Amino acid sequence: MDVIVTPTPTLQGTIGALSSKNYTTRYLLVAALAEGTSTIYYPAHSEDSDAMRRCIQDLGASLEEDEEKIVITGFGSRPRNVKELNVGNAGAVLRFLMGIAALSENVTFVNTYPDSLGKRPHDDLIVSLQQLGVQVEHREGKLPITISGGAPKGGKITVSGSVSSQYLSALLFLTPLLSEDSEIEVLHDLKSKVVIGQTLEVLEQAGIVIHASDDYMHFKVPGRQAYQPRTYTVQGDYPGSAAVLAAAAVTRSDVTVERLMERSKQGERAIVDVLRQMEVPLTHENDTVHVQGNGRLKAIEFDGDAATDAVLAMVAAACFAEGTSRFYNVENLRYKECDRITDYLAELTKAGAKVEERQAEIIVHGQPEGVEGGVEINAHYDHRVIMALTVVGLRSHKPLVIRDAHHVAKSYPQYFDHLRALGASVEWKES
């Protein structure tokens, strides 16, 4: 399915933020790893969170869900032996479950998105699992991947953090269940470091003890721990809401997004500060962001690694700012659903934006007069490319057609409904 985005000068109204993807995947996982029954209020519903639901069920958890909550009885440290798991296109779900697969006999993660997740690297996690004595069959670090657990015991592990934080998160979920204590040392750099804060927060809520150094480069993890069954409430999602807030910033608007916790550990809450620094009129009080856009924005310089999943939306806003913006320290955007530097900038350029790429930077020469539009955009299987190009289309001179926009459902199936509720002219059409 494609979406036609027709230029829309004003947006107005109130929406509730979608539920956080990162907290939903984590709460589903820790509930599955507990023996006993946990309850998660307001879990996200999207392809990625559904992938986690499906896989933990395959591994032996039982799930019962109604409108507001999901009740999960976990399998503890003994997942059922399954031959295959299908994580769809969900990177975090794959990496977390590659860790947990070390507790079973022999699991193959199949490759259902050869042009997206199928191209992403997992070598650094594979190397760490091998240090624990786990056998891993793979194709040059990529899917399909078969993991043969063989009862790992724990011990000293190193993991590179220079491509993704998800490898470290995977080890943090696995090691408390092992029979011996573990010590994890992060090598090189740790990208998306802020996301590790979310992993540690959820582990603590699940009753797990981990001793982390302040810089998150060293961890001591006592073995023989048990995840506790608990009740969790999922907060609103900043990465998805960042696109809605960017849309409000580039139009004349009076837009309110509710359920965005001010003291959240989601790095992408930086969208609020970034828009504020770009001189977009807004307030953030009582977990509610209120944007009163006048269409005028100032350029910005920003360390994108602090808010990795909001950078594309920030770049979209910067396309209409006065001056040149620079988003640096963003190399790991290249290892996401597509190459979010080369592929994204190619689509922005098609739409008429003036952007330049460096290996680890995106430079945007803002055009307050708007961009030309009038072209077809390739979504590259990437929900965040789809959301960001929609923001650009709202302020183009001519409509944008976003091909295969249904991939937005990876994280935010109701994105276009939410934008339409705010008055945006966005229409689905058969491809």
Rounded CA Rg of the chain? 21
Residue 340 binds to ligand S3P (criterion: CB under 6 A): no
3-state secondary structure 231-255: EEECCECHHHHHHHHHHHHHCEEEE
Instruction: Please indicate if the annotation marks 224 as binding a ligand.
Output: no
Q: Which of 295, 268, 293 has the alpha carbon at shortest distance from 283? A: 293
Instruction: Out of 3, 33, 85, 90, name the contact with ligand PEP by CB under 6 A.
Output: 90
Q: Which of 27, 92, 50 has the alpha carbon at shortest distance from 336? A: 92
61 and 32 in contact (C-beta within 8 Å)?
Answer: yes
Instruction: Please indicate if the annotation marks 21 as binding a ligand.
Output: yes
294 and 281 in contact (C-beta within 8 Å)?
Answer: yes
Residue 390 binds to ligand PEP (criterion: CB under 6 A): no
How many residues sit close enough to ligand PEP to count as binding (CB under 6 A)?
8
**384 is in the binding site of which of ligand PEP, ligand S3P, none (Cβ under 5 to 8 A by kind)?**
ligand PEP
Residue 396 binds to ligand PEP (criterion: CB under 6 A): no
Longest dimension (CA), the chain: 62
Letters for 117-146 (x = contact with ligand S3P by CB under 6 A, - = none) are: ------------------------------
Pairing of β 301-303 and β 324-328: parallel
380's CB contacts (< 8 A; 6+ apart) are 116, 337, 338, 343, 344, 347
Instruction: Please indicate if the annotation marks 296 as binding a ligand.
Output: no
> What's the Cα-to-Cα distance from 286 to each of 257, 258, 262, 274, rounded to whole Å?
11, 9, 8, 19
Residue 192 binds to ligand S3P (criterion: CB under 6 A): yes
227 and 74 in contact (C-beta within 8 Å)?
Answer: yes
Q: Cβ 254 to ligand S3P, closest distance in Å? A: 30
Tell me which stretch binds ligand S3P (CB under 6 A): 190-198, 257-265, 355-363, 366-374. 190-198
Is 309 assigned a catalytic role? yes
149 and 105 in contact (C-beta within 8 Å)?
Answer: yes
Instruction: Out of 265, 336, 380, 395, name the contact with ligand PEP by CB under 6 A.
Output: 336
Residue 92 binds to ligand PEP (criterion: CB under 6 A): yes
Tell me which stretch binds ligand PEP (CB under 6 A): 49-57, 87-95, 226-234, 248-256. 87-95
Residue 19 binds to ligand S3P (criterion: CB under 6 A): no
Tell me which stretch binds ligand S3P (CB under 6 A): 74-82, 123-131, 146-154, 189-197. 189-197
Residue 316 binds to ligand PEP (criterion: CB under 6 A): no
Instruction: Please indicate if the annotation marks 166 as binding a ligand.
Output: yes
Q: Which is nearer to ligand S3P, 92 or 243 (CB)?
A: 92
Chain residues 87-106 in contact with ligand S3P, contact rule CB under 6 A: 92
Residue 411 binds to ligand PEP (criterion: CB under 6 A): yes
414's CB contacts (< 8 A; 6+ apart) are 18
238 and 260 in contact (C-beta within 8 Å)?
Answer: yes
Residue 332 binds to ligand S3P (criterion: CB under 6 A): yes
Q: Which is nearer to ligand S3P, 174 or 250 (CB)?
A: 174
Residue 91 binds to ligand PEP (criterion: CB under 6 A): yes
152's CB contacts (< 8 A; 6+ apart) are 102, 129, 132, 133, 134, 174, 178
Instruction: Please indicate if the annotation marks 165 as binding a ligand.
Output: yes
Chain residues 200-259 in contact with ligand PEP, contact rule CB under 6 A: none
**90 is in the binding site of which of ligand S3P, ligand PEP, none (Cβ under 5 to 8 A by kind)?**
ligand PEP
The span from the CA of 96 to the CA of 43, in Å, is 18
Instruction: Please indicate if the annotation marks 128 as binding a ligand.
Output: no
Reading the block at residue 222, the tokens are 């006592």
Instruction: Please indicate if the annotation marks 294 as binding a ligand.
Output: no
> What's the Cα-to-Cα distance from 85 to each of 62, 143, 211, rounded to whole Å?
16, 12, 31
293 and 222 in contact (C-beta within 8 Å)?
Answer: no
Q: Cβ 81 to ligand PEP, closest distance in Å? A: 25
Catalytic residue selected from 48, 50, 237, 309: 309
Please name every residue paired with 356 in a beta bridge, in sequence order, or none if there are none: 363
Residues of this chain that bind ligand S3P (CB under 6 A): 22, 25, 92, 164-166, 169, 191-192, 195, 308-309, 332
Residue ranges for the known binding site for phosphoenolpyruvate are 21, 91, 120, 166, 340, 384, 410
Residues of this chain that bind ligand PEP (CB under 6 A): 90-92, 309, 336-337, 384, 411
Provide the annotated active-site residues.
Answer: 309
